[in-house]
Amino acid sequence: MSTDFHLDSVVQDDCLVIRTFGYVNNMGGKEIVKCFNEGFDHGLTKIVINLAESKVVNSIGISYLLEIIEKLMDKKGKLVFTNLEPAIEKTFSIMGLFHFAEHAATEETAIAKMGE
């Protein structure tokens, strides 16, 4: 029953892959940005965020992700979300996130997209 947020991350083919677990609320959004910033400060500008294990999000948590988009625009980086629940995909779509980020079914297809 636990939905407390945590995440892990790996660097693969020059991409920072962030995998989230649990509720992306205020705190969850901040943690994602913190993890991104650590990678970004090391020069990583290809970012994959895998939300497979986050079945619940709220708009406060997601609004933090706009900070990632801003920073990546400056460096011509790329952000791809993967494993989105249909309702979460719709949420991102309504917020206009896909004007600035992409989505893919899996991490593999996301990483493949990075070259495009």
Contact residues toward a second copy (CB under 8 A) are 1, 3, 55-56
Cβ proximity to a second copy: between 84 and 104 the closer is: 84
Quick one: what does residue 52 bind among a second copy, ligand ADP, other proteins, none, with the CB cut-off 5 to 8 Å set by partner type? none
Cβ proximity to a second copy: between 56 and 69 the closer is: 56
Contact (Cβ atoms closer than 8 angstroms) between residue 12 and residue 44: no
Q: Which residues within the stretch 54-93 sit at the binding site for ligand ADP (CB under 6 A)?
A: 59-60
Cβ proximity to ligand ADP: between 64 and 81 the closer is: 64
95 touches other proteins by CB under 8 A: yes
70 burial via Cβ count (<10 Å: 0-12, 13-18, 19+): exposed
Taking the complex as a whole, the smallest distance from the CB of residue 115 to a second copy amounts, in Å, to 37
Classify the C-alpha dihedral 56-104-66-33 as positive or negative.
positive
Phi then psi dihedrals of residue 24, to 5 deg: -85, 80
Contact (Cβ atoms closer than 8 angstroms) between residue 10 and residue 39: no
